[in-house]
Amino acid sequence: DTAVSQTPKYLVTQMGNDKSIKCEQNLGHDTMYWYKQDSKKFLKIMFSYNNKELIINETVPNRFSPKSPDKAHLNLHINSLELGDSAVYFCAGRLGYGYTFGSGTRLTVV
């Protein structure tokens, strides 16, 4: 069983559209994260949720809205997509102290 799964793997969309990325974890841990990896490979935290509650928001534009319906799911909704949003987005769960990442979603805004 995959510990952290996210869909879709690839997402190509036009500027101005709204899109969602879904994430599910079966690690049994309460904390989940969204990270953004840009073209230079830098990994930057966007959000963290603990048991459905937002605990970290790293000055991400409010076009990005995470939604956690339960502690096993953390979805990312993005409104009014811009060219600069193109990146790989990783969901992660925390098992012990280390992270387990999902397979990533490559978002391309054209």
The residue ranges that bind another protein (CB under 8 A) are 31, 33, 40-45, 48, 50, 55-56, 90, 97-104
Rounded least distance, CB 94 to another protein, Å: 9
Nearer to another protein, 15 or 27 (CB): 27
CA 93 from centre of chain: 11
Nearer to another protein, 81 or 90 (CB): 90
Retrieve residue 7's tokens: 């869909």
Rounded least distance, CB 51 to another protein, Å: 12
Rounded least distance, CB 15 to another protein, Å: 25
Nearer to another protein, 15 or 43 (CB): 43
Q: Single out the residue of 6, 37, 34, 3 nearest to residue 21, CA to CA.
A: 6
Rounded least distance, CB 18 to another protein, Å: 25
**In this structure, are residues 36 and 89 in contact, taking their beta carbons and an 8 Å threshold?**
yes
Nearer to another protein, 42 or 82 (CB): 42
DSSP, collapsed to helix, strand or coil, labels residue 84 as helix
Contacts of 96 (CB under 8 A, 6+ apart): none
**In this structure, are residues 13 and 101 in contact, taking their beta carbons and an 8 Å threshold?**
no
